[in-house]
Structure 1
Amino acid sequence: MTIGDFSSGSAPGTRRDPIGRDVRFNRALATRWRSKGYWLDTTLAALTEDLAASDGDRVMAIEGERCFTVAEILIESRRLANALLERGLGLGSVISYQIPNWYEGCVINLAASMIGGVVNPLVPIYRDNELTFMLDDVKARVVFVPESFRNCDYAAMMLRVRKRLNHDLEIVVLRGAAEGCLSYSELLSAGITRRPLPRVDPDSVYVMMHTSGSTGRPKCVLHSHNTFLVQGRVHALELRRSQSDVQIVASPISHVSGMILANLTPVVGGAKIVLMDRWSAAAAIDLIHQHDGTALGGATPFLRQLVDAARAADDHLPTLTCVGTGGAAVPPDLIREAQDWFPNAVSYRIYGCTEVPTITSGTNSRADMEHGAETDGRIRHVEIRIVDPVSGAALPTDAEGEILACGPQMMLGYLRMEDNDGAFDADGYFRTGDLGRIVDNEYILITGRKKDLIIRSGENLSPKEIEDVLHTHPAVSSAAVVGMPHPRSGECVCAFLVVCEGHSIDLLEIDRFLCNAGLSRQKVPEHVEIVESLPTSVQGKVLKAELRKIAAKISHGLRHDLTK
């Protein structure tokens, strides 16, 4: 079945980007999005300059005790753009950043837009192994990092990573200094002299963002200026955002959702943003009161903790009008709790992915609260097909099948051409790998995942990546990793191990080994089960579904023990 009003596309071709990369590009779809008014053929820089000309003194972003007007952000971004041009960056140059939710993230994105650069956000939890692959994958010219943050010396880590790369990388340190790196203040000082800005093609790549896949190797998603800017327009239109709104940005700005909220909400939607560089429900409540916050979005644990903290304080947060939750399994009862406790807010589930960030937009009225709890949102500005996950045949409305999506906010494709093979159907619809069905001809309900990803607190974790490292341990004969239900994070990592004869291993040893191997803490198993053998099919493939059932039983037993 197909939901939407778009006609079928044609087979995509490719375009050559300014530095010689071949990029997947569907010209038929591009023509359609322009004719329907979705693609405006502009850039974030152009929109911000227009906003500064008309309302430059308006506060755009707040971080801690500092407020930044539109004009101030624009001026600093122009200086950074000048400095980057001075250092030889320009059209097509990849600009990476691994930073907390600091205002400099807005500056970096805007400066990149000015010079036709490509931003490459890196999640702060990534460590040496992931960073080496990702930075080498995109051939980043420069990377911005904090000197240190939350007990991690990012500058020292990035210096180690640079030694492992096959290309030159300049490291810029924010809010500090480190030997062998350039400080952000030094870089800005070189940008006083204005340099002419290049003409930027809105169809060119603007965002490169890695997303974990079931193959284990992260895939790099490509968004153009046009596909990225649509996200902000859809968000503002469907959720009725305006200049009177104050968006609390708790989602990491290196995630696609946080990136949209931090960079597009103020410019496209008009709302003011308040940046949180670390999540705390108590701190979020304080910020909502301090700034009359109206909107908050984040992964499931954020909402759970916010409701619990607000109840403990007997605080109904009367200014809050919009609470969107996604990125991990969202219990319907949690949405209902939020709706009951925050009487002026619309609480809802949303669904999307890095490839198609706004597949659903959530509900925008308390009159539609039940759909907000029981479904994963309204289908808006995107076309959905439900197909048989094996044959690809179209299915009827009420059938469960694989979800395919196509819309103006869909990525151009993946960086590596081979990753595009099988990612789209013949008409250009993206295969999400998720299972679901249409509800009341307007909403979508996610019922499962075709892919094997573990979603821990909104983070997509690849089992194969963890398994590959586990298999290098001398005591491990074979390993399989699955998601285990967890009351706070949605899922946690559970490893099933077959141990080599004469060896032994425990959770502490696995923890030490994986951390030393360079995996981030979120990927380290929270439970290890030693087994004699792994269940396999006649073809020898590990039956992950069986292991997930065992993990669910183990999780239930652990929670039961805690309640005794």
Structure 2
Amino acid sequence: MKQEISNLSVSQLLQQVYKKDPEHEVAFDGYGRISYEELWRQSITLAKSLQELGIKKGDKVAVCLPNWNEFIVIYMAVSHVGAILVPFNTRYRQDEVEYILRNSEAKLAFFTKEFSGVRHYDQFASAIKVVNSLKTLISVRCQIDGILSYEALLENNESASFEPIDIDSENDTFSILYTSGSTGAPKGAMLTHSNVVNTAIISANQMKCTEKDVFFVAVPVFHVFGLVPSILSTVAVGARMVLMDQYKAKAALELMELEKVTVKHGVPTMFILELNHEEFASYDLSSLRTGIIAAAPCPIEIVKRIRNDMGCEIMVAYGLSETSPTLTMTSFDDEDIVRAETVGKALPGAEVKIVNDSRQEVRTGEVGEIVCRSFGVMKGYYQMPEKTAEAIDENGWFYTGDLGILDENGNLRIVGRKKEMIIRGGYNIYPREIEEILYLHCDVLEVAIVGLPDTVLGEISCACVKLKSHATADEQSLIDFVRQRVANYKVPDKLIIMKGFPMTASGKIKKVSLQEQLMESIGVELR
């Protein structure tokens, strides 16, 4: 299917939409509401202040904020001046902050004093002393002696004129998003204006979104899931969004009921916590229409429960920071089994294929690495030409590092990360396959399977399981549950009941951290 590609920049997209209905609310963050006209006016005012501070086209602007209206204003202001947005995870520690500031060459940083126990002012005040590129600090929702404030910048230039910046949407970078760095130093994926605008528009179109929709944005705005199919998809159709700065299942259910949310995005963990909340049945979620579940493997049973218990025609999607992110999605026309067991087809205008280790395309139904070309594929990794060349070939195909299968209808099934595959005594074990089986058990809340070293078999598999409250299952009964359903070599060699998992801010289980914890706690048991 041919897809018409937009050549709008982020700034032009907002301008086009706000003129249609300036009074329409664009965002509510639990503290205040803001209309499209206010977003345009405030972001233009802030853009003029940024220019006065020396920020010009191509300069990098760091933003370390939770899901607040101010983030959206800064997002748009940066796009107006043609600068490059560098979002920071609000959980970063000092070394991570300094690494990304230094690598991105950020000239200016927005932050708040403290959030969720992390003292951001202390981090950036220390960083500016050792990061040569960083020249200006701007505080948000706090007044700090000697530091410029966001609020002051909005007051300074309300009447000043602003000259639009000429932006080449296909080639000019809008944002540099840093990967988690689980396999080395974080890499900065450069996403162009065209990457994010087209992904936002096409994702919204797939969900049949209109200006009447209300998006629920509980995924972090500093993550690509929040940045593009949440914030920018909302803007693309002139809808409104409800932001949540600290996710709690009960508060999320209350907000969805109160704000009449229609489009609910989230990672599997969020849906799992909501569906299993003891008061879930008491909330009126009848306004829910659709949404995207993504950013981590999605258990089959959870997809079914979202559709049946929430009444939400959820769309399972797949993508990465490097693809802006949405690459594939299920559709409203898909049968239950397709929505439950695959991540759908490539979006209109995108291509997906499966290749072997020699980068040759495999036959339908065979496992291999997922490779793609699309409107959303990044420009490259910032200041890492070798890593870029490894990931994107001369024909524009991006190698995801994920393993999958394409069926005869073009639907993609994710098998797992290439680097997470466990080779036990010469047999390949794909963790996701066994995780899906454990999710079928009525007592299982969350599960992650990792490989551990073994001197005889090379690797063994270890299943880590978090149980629901009042669960009666134990290690042996769960092992027996799996054994009935798979070949014997796929049955976990170890199964450990966990109280919780190390998690990323976007809701993914940190499998590398989990492996490290297991090596410390049960290392003496390993051969």
Answer yes or no: same fold by TM over 0.5.
Answer: yes
Out of 71, 77, 81, the residue aligned to residue 111 of structure 1 is 77
Structure 1 pair 483/433, CA: closer, same or farther in 2 (3 Å)?
A: farther
In structure 2, what residue type is equivalent to 1:222? M
1:364 has 2:332 as partner? yes
1:412 has 2:379 as partner? yes
Q: Which residue of 1 aligns with 2:105?
A: 139
Partner secondary structure for residue 358 of structure 2? coil
Q: Which residue of 2 aligns with 1:175?
A: 141
Structure 1 pair 69/336, CA: closer, same or farther in 2 (3 Å)?
A: same
In structure 1, what residue type is equivalent to 2:286? P
Q: Which residue of 1 aligns with 2:190?
A: 222
Structure 1 pair 140/162, CA: closer, same or farther in 2 (3 Å)?
A: same
Partner secondary structure for residue 42 of structure 1? coil
Match runs of 1:47-196 below 5 Å? 47-192=13-158, 193-196=160-163
- Tell me the distance in 2 between the aligned counterparts of 1:270 and 1:400: 40
1:321 has 2:289 as partner? yes
- Tell me the distance in 2 between the aligned counterparts of 1:424 and 1:149: 37
Q: Which residue of 1 aligns with 2:245?
A: 277
Match runs of 1:472-551 below 5 Å? 485-487=464-466, 526-527=517-518, 528-529=520-521, 531=523
Do 1:249 and 1:297's aligned partners in 2 also have CA atoms closer than 8 Å? Answer: yes
In structure 2, what residue type is equivalent to 1:75? R
Structure 1 pair 151/488, CA: closer, same or farther in 2 (3 Å)?
A: farther
1:430 has 2:430 as partner? no
1:300 has 2:268 as partner? yes
Q: Which residue of 1 aligns with 2:176?
A: 208
Per mean C-alpha deviation after superposition, the further-off stretch among 206-215 and 290-299 is 206-215
- Tell me the distance in 2 between the aligned counterparts of 1:322 and 1:70: 23
In structure 1, what residue type is equivalent to 2:412? I
- Tell me the distance in 2 between the aligned counterparts of 1:187 and 1:526: 45
Q: TM-score, normalised by structure 1?
A: 0.74
- Tell me the distance in 2 between the aligned counterparts of 1:270 and 1:98: 26
Per mean C-alpha deviation after superposition, the further-off stretch among 42-51 and 287-296 is 42-51
Runs (5+) with no aligned partner, structure 2? 422-430, 433-449, 451-458, 469-509
The structural deviation recorded for 1:82 is: 0.4
Q: Which residue of 1 aligns with 2:228?
A: 260
Do 2:218 and 2:265's aligned partners in 1 also have CA atoms closer than 8 Å? Answer: yes
- Tell me the distance in 2 between the aligned counterparts of 1:533 and 1:288: 47
Structure 1 pair 311/441, CA: closer, same or farther in 2 (3 Å)?
A: farther
Match runs of 1:385-404 below 5 Å? 385-388=353-356, 390-404=357-371
1:240 has 2:203 as partner? no
Q: How many residues align?
A: 447
Out of 144, 158, 166, the residue aligned to residue 199 of structure 1 is 166
Do 1:265 and 1:272's aligned partners in 2 also have CA atoms closer than 8 Å? Answer: no
Do 2:274 and 2:280's aligned partners in 1 also have CA atoms closer than 8 Å? Answer: no
Structure 1 pair 125/447, CA: closer, same or farther in 2 (3 Å)?
A: same
- Tell me the distance in 2 between the aligned counterparts of 1:523 and 1:126: 15
Partner secondary structure for residue 531 of structure 1? helix
Over aligned residue pairs, what C-alpha RMSD do you find? 2.9
Partner secondary structure for residue 274 of structure 1? strand
Partner secondary structure for residue 277 of structure 2? helix
In structure 2, what residue type is equivalent to 1:174? V
Q: Which residue of 1 aligns with 2:301?
A: 333
Deviations 1:44-83 (A, max 9, x none): 2112222222211111111215221100011100110000
Do 1:249 and 1:261's aligned partners in 2 also have CA atoms closer than 8 Å? Answer: no
Do 1:310 and 1:316's aligned partners in 2 also have CA atoms closer than 8 Å? Answer: no
- Tell me the distance in 2 between the aligned counterparts of 1:484 and 1:75: 52
The structural deviation recorded for 1:262 is: 4.2
In structure 1, what residue type is equivalent to 2:300? P
- Tell me the distance in 1 between the aligned counterparts of 2:233 and 2:180: 26
Partner secondary structure for residue 529 of structure 1? helix
Structure 1 pair 72/534, CA: closer, same or farther in 2 (3 Å)?
A: same
Do 2:230 and 2:265's aligned partners in 1 also have CA atoms closer than 8 Å? Answer: no
Structure 1 pair 129/370, CA: closer, same or farther in 2 (3 Å)?
A: same
Deviations 1:8-67 (A, max 9, x none): xxxxxxxxxxxxxxxxxxxxxxxxxxxx531x2221211222222221111111121522
Do 1:414 and 1:420's aligned partners in 2 also have CA atoms closer than 8 Å? Answer: yes
- Tell me the distance in 1 between the aligned counterparts of 2:282 and 2:209: 28
The structural deviation recorded for 1:523 is: 5.2
- Tell me the distance in 1 between the aligned counterparts of 2:336 and 2:201: 23
- Tell me the distance in 1 between the aligned counterparts of 2:463 and 2:199: 32
The structural deviation recorded for 1:530 is: 5.5
Higher-RCO chain (CA-CA 8 Å, sequence separation at least 6): 1
Structure 1 pair 483/54, CA: closer, same or farther in 2 (3 Å)?
A: farther
The structural deviation recorded for 1:486 is: 4.4
Structure 1 pair 443/286, CA: closer, same or farther in 2 (3 Å)?
A: same
The structural deviation recorded for 1:410 is: 1.0
The structural deviation recorded for 1:171 is: 1.5
Q: Which residue of 2 aligns with 1:22?
A: none
Deviations 1:75-115 (A, max 9, x none): 10011000000111110011110100001111111111111
The structural deviation recorded for 1:368 is: 2.6
Structure 1 pair 530/339, CA: closer, same or farther in 2 (3 Å)?
A: closer
Do 1:403 and 1:433's aligned partners in 2 also have CA atoms closer than 8 Å? Answer: yes
Deviations 1:456-487 (A, max 9, x none): xxxxxxx9xxxxxxxxxxxxxxxx9x996443
Q: Which residue of 2 aligns with 1:290?
A: 258
Q: TM-score, normalised by structure 2?
A: 0.79
Do 2:90 and 2:118's aligned partners in 1 also have CA atoms closer than 8 Å? Answer: no
Q: Which residue of 2 aligns with 1:42?
A: 8
